[in-house]
């Protein structure tokens, strides 16, 4: 009998990605402070937060799902060493996209699969590079008005109209771009004795 699968996230984008695997799962929002620690690299931050999210949900649901496999993930966008968070406002989205215009932004996505039964965990990071074409202010404004990417790292909703902002993409796992690297996750699930197919 397979173990229950829990996605430690409230993100609709991650939920939609995980649905592609056609496995039954439950979502539970982790209570984790996502503040970057002093001197912490973006790469270290996404690993720490994906692990913290999985562990927080494991603890919160230990009595209900003691043997669950819990998926934690975290993503950040980085331009010139600076983390581009979720903009929250249209003005901030405009600022982020102007800065990204004609440049390369790296998305770091941390992934953790925590086994509530054994306490074992698999932790990894998948990087993806997005090369933006040169964007006019009018294009950026239209994109923001149409897509409203205010809760997306770097103001990019790549699964939608955001694809029109790009010159090219560079990476091994296109689902990492949206926030849950499915190629890596399916490998982790196989290693945990929970194959997808």
**Beta strand ranges found along 80-184 (DSSP E):** 82-84, 104-115, 121-132, 166-171
- The catalytically annotated residue of 74, 115, 127, 173 is 74
Separation between Cα atoms, residue 83 and residue 123, nearest integer Å = 21
Can 74 be counted among the known catalytic residues? Answer: yes
Residue 33, judged by CB atoms within 10 A of its CB (0-12, 13-18, 19+), counts as exposed
The CB-side HSE value for 175 (13 A sphere, CA atoms) comes to 18
8-state DSSP, 174: G
Instruction: Label residue 80 left, alpha or beta by phi (over 0 means left) and psi (-120 to 50 means alpha).
Output: left
Separation between Cα atoms, residue 31 and residue 60, nearest integer Å = 9
Residue 144, judged by CB atoms within 10 A of its CB (0-12, 13-18, 19+), counts as buried
Residue positions annotated with a catalytic role: 74
């Amino acid at each position: 009998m397979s173990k229950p699968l829990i996605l430690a996230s409230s993100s609709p984008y991650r939920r939609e990605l995980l649905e592609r695997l056609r496995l039954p799962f439950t979502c539970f929002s982790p209570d984790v402070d996502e503040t970057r620690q002093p001197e912490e690299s973006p790469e270290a931050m996404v690993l720490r937060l994906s692990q913290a999210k999985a562990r927080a949900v494991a603890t919160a649901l230990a009595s209900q799902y003691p043997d669950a496999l819990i998926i934690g993930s975290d993503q950040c966008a980085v331009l010139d060493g600076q983390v581009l968070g979720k903009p929250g406002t249209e003005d901030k989205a405009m600022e982020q996209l102007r800065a990204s215009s004609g440049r390369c932004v790296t998305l770091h996505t941390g992934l953790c699969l925590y086994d509530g039964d054994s306490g074992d965990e698999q932790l990894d990071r998948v990087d993806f590079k997005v090369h933006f074409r040169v964007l006019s202010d009018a294009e950026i404004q239209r994109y923001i008005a149409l897509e409203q990417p205010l809760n997306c790292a770097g103001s990019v909703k790549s699964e939608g109209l955001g694809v029109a902002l790009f010159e090219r993409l560079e990476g091994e796992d296109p689902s990492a771009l949206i926030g849950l690297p499915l190629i890596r996750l399916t490998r982790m699930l196989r290693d945990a004795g929970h194959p997808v197919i």
